[in-house]
Amino acid sequence: MLNDRVGFVDIVLVGDPQGRGARAYRSQGHRFERGSGLSDVVSDNATWPVTEEALLGPDGESLPRLPGHVAYWFAWAGYFEDAQLGGGPNAQ
């Protein structure tokens, strides 16, 4: 579980340790924590079911899933030859 911001968009990443994947959803300023299982998350003591399409809030609020693609670092580095990857001597 990771709460973050990309540009001006608040996001939450919900990971699946068994599948080793993650889904990104808009969080609209909500801060989420892991729920009782892989199928829900918690914000402000309220449980939000996790679906393919959205996080479903207790009051009917729906936070959409964001498009994404899992890529390996070498694919990124091959496509963006001058990309700086974190942790190196030029990392900021």
Mean pLDDT, each 10-residue run in order, the chain (92 residues): 94 82 93 89 96 95 91 78 65 48
DSSP string, 19-61: TTEEEEEE-TT---EE-SSTTEEEETTEEEEB-SSEEE-TTS-
pTM: 0.74
pLDDT at 91: 46
- For the chain, domain boundaries: 2-79
End-to-end Cα distance, the chain: 24
- Count of other CB atoms within 10 angstroms of residue 52: 6
